[in-house]
Chains A and B, each alone.
Chain A
Amino acid sequence: MTSAVSVRGLWKRFGQQVAVAGIDLELPAGKFIGLVGPNGAGKTTTLSMVTGLLRPDQGSVEIVGQDVWRDPVNVKARIGVLPEGLRLFERLSGRELLAYSGRLRGLPGAEVDRRAAQLLDVLDLAGAQHKLVVDYSTGMRKKIGLAAALLHNPEVLFLDEPFEGVDPVSAQTIRGVLERYTASGATVVFSSHVMELVESLCDWVAVMAAGRIRAHGPLDEVRGGAPSLQRAFLELVGAQGQNTGANLDWLGGGAR
């Protein structure tokens, strides 16, 4: 099995806080991969380090066999990124943003415009293409960010919380585009804390908690005997058995 992403001994500290505590991961190529974990598990930090946006304290990252930090020329052209919590150039219109981002990557202008038009169409943004991104809704921002990440046809796509705050219609559109993209042999790595979504989309998952990988492998393997990924996940991160019955006994219908 060839690896799309290979991570070894990755560490990151922010002051006293250890965000990522020694991660080793082999992500197979051509799969739809979900990185799941509760808030604060280190998913965003990990994805930032993997994509070259954040320098790790220790460890190495290889994408399609090239070292991210030693050989950025070969890596940056082959990956697409949709980060979480970072802005876009919001004072450009959606169309201008794509034109800018594609040309910055060195694609020919005519080709950029052709691809941008198709992406805007498929992602249902054609009507808003001349509006400034600053006036876009959350879902529209995620979609234009996805379009910018796909524009140069990367081999591996990294998406940080692509469905967070996205309405069901936009989510379905994003899903459709991603499924088509992986079907052609490309790799998608995305982070989420919505288990149902990961379960229905991914064929390979890595579970993260407190800066470490708790389990990884094909979906069925990670799920094991549990009825759903949600249950398996709760067992893995040790959040089982928190009793909510004893308190809040006044809450609900009946006597006021």
Chain B
Amino acid sequence: MTGDITPVVVRLKLSLLRNGLRQSGGRRAAYIASAVAVLLFSVLQLLGLIALRGNEHAASVVVPLVAVLAAGWAVMPLFFPGGDETLDPTRLVMLPLRPRPLVRALLVASLVGIGPVFTLCMLVGSVVSVAHGASAYVVSVIGVALALLVCVALARAVAVANIRLLTSRKGRDLAVLSGLVIAVGAQVVNFGAQRLGSGGLGQLDGPAEVLKWIPPASAIGAVDSASEGSYGIAVLQLALSAAALIGLLALWSRHLTRLMTSPDGSTLPSSQGAARERSSTGLARLLPAGRTGTVMERSLRYVWRDPKTKAAWVTSLAIGLIVPVFNAVQGTGSIYFACFAAGMLGVQMYNQFGQDTSAFWMVAMTISSTRDAYVELRGRALALLVITLPYATLVTVVTTALIDDWPKLPEVLGVSFALLGAMLATGAWTSARFPYSIPQEGYKNVAPGQSGLAAAAVVGGMVSAALLCAPVIALTIWANVSADGDEWSWVLLPIGAVYGTAITLAGLRLAAPRTARQLPEILVAVSKG
């Protein structure tokens, strides 16, 4: 082989970036907009970090910051496997390349892009905020370079180690769940930031003490140590990062070699999945016989096995818990926030047939009367209740315990059940009236051209659900404002439960004839994905 392949791979990466932009104006605009946004954000971060210089907690901020950054690099390739084509060494498998030059070339190529620039800005800002004295500046230069390389090598090593996963169905299923991790993560970060705002930066001192020994945050920790004159510790921390880099490169190189000399993961039969016996009897025995049990069993299986359904459920479960409980913990919440869980979970009843995708034909072939449609919808509502009812009750009890307002528990439960019933009723009806497709690939939850329909169905349904609950809500308000209302507030629990049940049944009865009549139209509407 002649010459070094590093410039070739770097040029390949640049061409890929450029060609990606050439594909469409929208994509170019999106890329430029995101690049500008990231650069602005980097500059602001940089300024913010520089402003932190001299603050006694500066090190406690930047060390965890770098750790979070590294964690981001580690998980990125799992969620966005298509993001960087040079990340996928299977594309280079036909070329006669040796692992060592290849690793070097790929590592350098990884340094090209928005992500590394952003990381570099963060790292530079971090060392500026903590470095004091000549020796610390020297350590800074080494530290920044080490930290950046560790981040990039980490991403590459994770990507290569998981390339089997990423080219298989399971990996693609995982990617669908990534949006959810981001959504739930944002909630957690939001609450964390609020706590930090109230508690001050001093709260970070504890984590920073540990993190400053973990690469690549240790490379930045070294700068702080050097500023304080603890040169021995600084060298040790730098050495830790360097060792991590060498370790990651070795790991990466080994995986790369194995990957390039063995068949692609997508062509291998998944022996593991095939061997696992799926027991069908355990769940089925607890469910009622006939169509009801059959429909429930399938719905419940899909909650676990279908990535889209699973993502929707986990989001609902997480947000339904986080909003009332976190608010209660902070002391800002009302006990009525507990009804949020019922509302969030009730959303899963919406667009039932869209969740089936075009496999709905199998259902359509077996519905020949209004009765069949009613049993089908009822089965789906029951499957939902199996999870929702205990969960909403649990969230309500936990919220009540946190706020310590037990006398209010019955009425809050009553309102929750009424709301759940109203959501199921409107969900069933809109499923029949406004079905829409859920694309199975990618992150979109609505097929192109149907987003207006989907938004109208969900928003309209939720408003109607709230209106349908009005009688129970009015009773609750009455119980709270009238003089002897408190003594009667427990009655709201049975009232809410009965009202919720009645309204669900009414909704199913209304939805069933429409479903039975409109089967072909529903099938067309849900088959666009």
Taking a contact as CB atoms under 8 Å apart, the answer to whether A76 and B366 are in contact is yes
Looking at A34-42, A87-95, A218-226, A234-242, the stretch in contact with chain B turns out to be A87-95
Give the interface centre of A91, A95, A128, A135 by most chain B CB atoms within 10 Å: A91
Say yes or no: A135 contacts B169, CB within 8 Å: yes
Asked if A248 lies at the interface with its beta carbon under 8 angstroms from chain B, I say no
Chain A residues contacting B270 (CB-CB under 8 Å) are 135
Chain A nearest Cβ from B273, distance in angstroms: 6
Query: Is B30 part of the contact surface with A, judged by Cβ < 8 Å?
Result: no
Cβ-defined contact, B363 with A95, below 8 A: no
B residues less than 8 Å from A231 (CB atoms)? none
Contact A89 B278 (CB under 8 A): no
Of A96-104, A163-171, A193-201, A209-217, the one touching chain B: A96-104
B411 proximal to A (CB < 8 A)? no
Query: Are A104 and B294 in contact (CB-based, < 8 A)?
Result: yes
User: B276 contacts A130, CB within 8 Å?
Assistant: yes
Among B58-82, those with CB < 8 Å from A are none
Candidates B280, B356, B363, B524; contact of A99 at CB < 8 Å: B280
| Closest Cβ neighbor of A101 among chain B residues | B362
Q: Is the pair A77, B368 in contact by a Cβ cutoff of 8 Å?
A: yes
- Assess whether B364 is interfacial by the CB under 8 Å rule: yes
A72 and B369 CA atoms in complex are apart in Å by 8
Chain B interface residue count, CB cutoff 8 Å, equals 39
B528, chain A: closest CB distance, angstroms: 12
* B301: interface (CB < 8 Å): yes
A132 close to B273 (CB less than 8 A)? yes
B364:A53 contact, CB within 8 angstroms: yes
Is B289 engaged at the interface, CB distance under 8 Å to the other chain? yes
Report how far A53 CA is from B528 CA in the complex, Å.
15
A148 CB to nearest chain B CB (Å): 7
In this assembly, does A183 line the interface, its C-beta being within 8 Å of a C-beta of chain B?
no
A13 within 8 A of B: no
B277 to chain A: which residues have CB within 8 Å?
130
Is B520's CB under 8 angstroms from A54's CB? yes
Contact, CB under 8 Å: B305 / A104: no
A81-B365, A101-B362 known; A134-B169 Cβ under 8 A = yes
Q: Which residue of A lies closest to B269 (CB)?
A: A135
- Which residues from A are CB-within-8-Å of B119? none
Task: Flag whether A73 is at the interface (Cβ < 8 A).
Answer: yes
Q: How far is the CA of A162 from the CA of B290 in the complex (A)?
A: 30
The distance from the CB of A59 to the nearest CB of chain B, in whole angstroms, is 14
> At the interface, yes or no: A83 with Cβ under 8 Å from chain B?
yes
CB proximity of A125 to chain B, nearest CB, Å? 12
Chain A: number of interface residues, binned into ranges: 35 or more
Contact check, B359 vs A86: say whether CB atoms are below 8 A apart: yes
A100 touches B274 (CB 8 A): no
Chain B, residue nearest A88 (CB) = B359
Chain B residues with CB below 8 A from A52, complex form: 364-365, 519-520
B interface footprint on A36-77 (CB within 8 Å = 1, 0 otherwise): 000000000000000111110000000000000000110111
Q: Quick check: A53 and B520 within 8 Å, CB to CB?
A: yes
List the B residue with the shortest CB-CB distance to A93.
B278
Chain A positions within 8 Å of B358 at CB level: 85-87
Let me know if B521 is at the binding interface, CB within 8 A. yes
CB neighbours (8 Å) of B280 from chain A are 95-96, 99
Contact of A135 with B273 in the complex, beta carbons under 8 Å: yes
A132 proximity list for chain B (CB < 8 A)? 273, 305
Interface assignment of A175: CB less than 8 Å from any CB of chain B = no
Residue of A at shortest CB range from B304?
Answer: A91
Give, as a whole number of angstroms, the nearest-CB distance from B527 to chain A. 7
Which B residues are in CB contact (< 8 Å) with A109? 289
Q: Which residues of chain B are near A81, meaning CB under 8 Å?
A: 361, 365
Residue B523 at the chain A interface, CB threshold 8 Å: yes
Pairwise interchain contact B359-A90, C-beta atoms closer than 8 A? yes
Residues of B within 8 A of A86 (CB): 358-359, 361, 527
Give the residue name and chain of the A residue nearest to B527 (CB).
A86
> CA separation between A55 and B366, bound complex, in Å?
16
Measured between alpha carbons, how far is A38 from B289 in the docked complex, in Å?
A: 46
Quick check: B306 and A91 within 8 Å, CB to CB?
Answer: yes
Segment 189-245 of B: residues with Cβ below 8 Å from A: none
Instruction: State whether the Cβ of A106 lies closer than 8 Å to any Cβ in chain B.
Output: yes
Contact A73 B369 (CB under 8 A): yes
Bound CA span A137–B379, Å? 31
A132→B276 CA distance, assembly (Å): 11
CB atoms of A130 and B278 under 8 A apart: yes
Contact between chains at B278 and A96 (CB < 8 Å): yes
Contact of B520 among A55, A85, A105 (CB under 8 A): A55
Q: Using a CB-CB cutoff of 8 Å, which residues 269-303 of chain B contact chain A?
A: 270, 273-274, 276-278, 280, 289-291, 293-295, 297-298, 301-302
Counting CB contacts under 8 A, is A115 at the interface? no
Q: Which residues of B contact A87 (CB under 8 A)?
A: 357-359
For B294, the chain A residues whose CB sits under 8 A away are 99-100, 103-104
The answer to whether B169 and A53 have CB atoms under 8 Å apart is no
Which residues of chain B have C-beta atoms less than 8 A from A88's C-beta?
A: 359, 362
B273 surroundings in chain A (CB, below 8 A): 131-132, 135
What are the residues of chain B within 8 A of A54 when measuring CB–CB?
520, 523-524
Decide if B527 touches A76 in the complex (CB within 8 Å): no
The docked-state distance in angstroms from the alpha carbon of A230 to that of B263 is: 42
On whether the beta carbons of A104 and B357 are closer than 8 Å, the reply is no
- Name the CB-closest residue of A to B277: A130
Q: B527 to chain A: which residues have CB within 8 Å? A: 86
Decide: A91 near B364, CB < 8 A? Known: A53-B520, A54-B520: no
Q: Chain B's nearest CB lies how many Å from the CB of A76? A: 5
Name the interface residues of B344-378: CB closer than 8 Å to any CB of A.
Answer: 356-359, 361-369
Whether the pair A73, B368 counts as a contact (CB closer than 8 A) is yes
Q: A87-B357, A91-B305, A96-B301 are in contact. Are A130 and B365 (CB under 8 A)?
A: no
Closest Cβ of chain A to B265, distance in Å, is 13
For B280, B302, B367, the residue with the greatest tally of chain A CB atoms inside 10 Å of its CB is: B280
- Bound together, the chains give a CA A73 to CA B521 distance in angstroms of 18
* Given A87-B359, A95-B280: A72 in contact with B368 (beta carbons within 8 A): yes
Contact sample, A vs B, 6 pairs, CB 8 Å cutoff: A101-B366, A103-B290, A103-B291, A106-B366, A109-B289, A132-B305
State the A residues within 8 Å of B (CB).
51-55, 72-73, 75-77, 81, 83, 85-93, 95-96, 99-101, 103-106, 109, 128, 130-132, 134-135, 148
Q: Which 7 A-B pairs have the closest CB atoms?
A: A91-B305, A72-B368, A103-B294, A73-B368, A86-B358, A87-B359, A55-B520
B interface, CB within 8 angstroms of A: 169, 270, 273-274, 276-278, 280, 289-291, 293-295, 297-298, 301-302, 305-306, 356-359, 361-369, 519-521, 523-524, 527
